[in-house]
Structure 1
Amino acid sequence: MKPPAHPPGPTRSLASRLARPLVAAVVLVWSISTALVAWYVDTQIQHNFDTELVESAHRQLYPALLDAATPEPAQAQAQAQAVRILGEVPGSDYTEPLSLQLRNAQGRLLLRSRAAPEEAFAAPLQEGFYDTAQHRIYTLEEPESGVWLQLADPLDERTEARWRTASGLIAVLLLMLPVLLWLIHWIARRELHSLRWLQAQIQQRSGDHLQPLALTDLPHELHQVGQDVNQLLHRLHLALDVERALAANAAHELRTPLASVRLRLHTAIEQAEADGSGQIALAQIQPILHALHTLSHRTERLLQLSRAEAASQARSTVDLVALCTTLAQEFWQQPQAQKRLDWDAPTITLPVQGDIDTLAIALRNLIDNALTYSSGPVELAVQAQPPAIIVRDSGPGIAAHDLSTVQQRHVRADASRLGYGLGLSIVGSIARQHGASFSLTSPVPGRSSGLQAMLVFAATDQADRTDQAD
């Protein structure tokens, strides 16, 4: 089967893609505008011609009447029925370049100019304009004598004026079209310089170079695109950090349990081979199971750390009292916590803005560490103002000089509290995401031993808080 062909690559620049439709749009608009201008100019030309025709008719009416009333010479009287030509009267130097005809009420032609046809115009005897195939005729009545004057303007002259106007407008359009094409293409390339600059910045980004893009002096649309790219780079940076931290934490945390498993298995095998019994003693199996349990526990912590550091920024209202009640009931299902975890839910609500899943991870870590690394009771409590969750244990506590560093990853105060090396760093990371403060106090205030862990959130107002829990 023939593989599908690769889609063709880009063949034109964005400047060309913008310039061509812009030029087409401008030419279209310009053509329509030219047509409208030509129509308007033609209308004005026709109006001017008509005005001039009306004025000429009024000017020529009375001279034509006077010429028609002048006595004819003796040789012309014999031809009384012949139509007189304007300006033929002896002693008259009057000439009329327009086509003029003077007709009586019955329509008989009385007088005409030299340019006028010998036959009467095919126009009715009524005042106003009338168009024929060759002329535009204006008819004017002289009511006292009952004669009609018709003055004709050749349509060829008007058509020539119309085409001269249209030709001039079209010539300007054709002359400026190449200039317009070059100008639009040049402007498009200049304005798209910021896009090429943004593209060059994006091309420079890589897994080792995820700094935000510089967005100064960018157009609004490109600025918004740049902000979205910066948000993507930030999320990618966080994802890479989580991946690298998870790999480092896994390598660090799993090295010792895996080595212990291998050592125990080798010892058990060697002992079985030496005894020849083919059975592994129970005393050898128990440490292996314990080491595997430790491995599973730390793997779970690593998964919690990855989830906490890659947590969404979405926030909702979380009731701390309900969260503590849910987790207490969860731990009461475990034998080691049934009689040791002390939680007396107060009759209040403590709403905070946060992610319930990651807050549950933080609280679960605090309770689990307190139960694991102390042998006495563990207290879970809340306080109302400011909203806080408190976990106290009755273990040996942590030295004062170690409290400032114990929240760092892989830092442990002593061998008795191994679990706090990673668990507290998870809690601290979640607290920072929620804008909360995480503090450790040892010994517990008012006691000689123990450790108190406290998550304090931003204060909020809540009308239904009835008392303060400690």
Structure 2
Amino acid sequence: MSASFSMTRRLMIWLTLGTALFWLLSAGLGAMVMREEFDEVFDSALEETTQRLMSLLIDQQFQSTAVSGADPVEVSPPGAKREYLTYQLRDQTGRVLLHSHDAPSEPFQVPLRQGYFDDEDHRTYTVAALNDTLFLQVADPLDHRREAMLEGARTLVLPILGLIPASVLVIWLILSKALRPISLLQDEISQRGGGNLRPLGLDEMPQELAGISTSVDTLLLRLGAALQAERDFAAHSAHELRTPIAGALAQTQRLLAELPSGHLQARACQIEASLKAITRLSEKLLQLARADAGIGAAETPVDLVPALRLVVDEFVRLGGQNARLKLELPPGTRLIQAVDIDAFAIALRNLIENALRHGPQNEAVVVRVEGPNGVAVINCGPVVSDAITAGWTTRFKRGATSSPGSGLGLSIVSQLASTMGAKLVFQSPAPDRSDGLRVAIEWPG
């Protein structure tokens, strides 16, 4: 089975990733548009600068006393700093006549024709004058453009990186509020069980969940009606069978007293044993119906020790094998729990019956109150593995035993323990022993 996952966590992750991806795509598209706009601005400035500079350099060239063949003149105003734009004034042969102080004295590796030309490091604009006898070439370093582009892109991306944590918080708040009805529906459904089949009663639910809530309510009503019908049938059947079974048993016992010894009396004994088995089964079915009805919990805590004494004394008064039942109750011990006394008595009676019936007939069965939160029944016998005890609470399932029984006793105890807010615990070997079995009803605390 695959591990469970949180729908809220998945939605947060995917919504955050999706939002961040769209932001980054938007930033990338914005950066592309911004680069085109930067190129237009820089190209416009480069072209305008070249045209204005051409007229100034032509005047300077004609006023110069430099002769043809002289070294190129470097135009360097006092205190000149690093220039973004560098230029060269060249003649039709490609010779450099004038250049800025940051420009090389060697000609640019750019053709002498008007327009733009790009190399690895510069974007150069060339303008011609005087019938293509003079060419002014102004170079704009691409690093300048890249720096402006990176700074612009950084201003777009950095806010996004800061917004991602904030978006996680906002998405979590929105999802927590939007998914709250799902949590409410989950809590209400988790509280439903065999003892609680009332409708959810969630009227104000979103449209997406209203159908689920209504369907669950309908299912709970149908399930409750079906379970109630089964309980009523089992309870009524067991109750109605008591009188005719008791009458048949009385007549059989009278017949036994009147019959002479022989095969007829043996058959009558078999009939008596069968009627006693039916009597026990009807009693168990009645107890099971009461357990399924949800008896067990009570609003007011009570001391269960008097009920425990009463059940043990009742077994002891019956005599016979019941005389080996021992009660260990330290002085002053109290067992105060918010449970129904009848449910506790039924559970304890079944535990004692099982221990007396299935344990060695010559060994004592101990009923021990273990502090304020537990009572245990301990009997002798071989060690039983956990794998075997795990199946003992299944209805109508009996272990490997020849003792009479219906396979309902421990199932009734398990159901009652659950409704009493306790748990049924098996331990073999019993504490401080090398054999035996301890079966306990333990409350948290």
TM, length-normalised to structure 1? 0.47
Name the TM-score, length of structure 2 as normaliser.
0.50
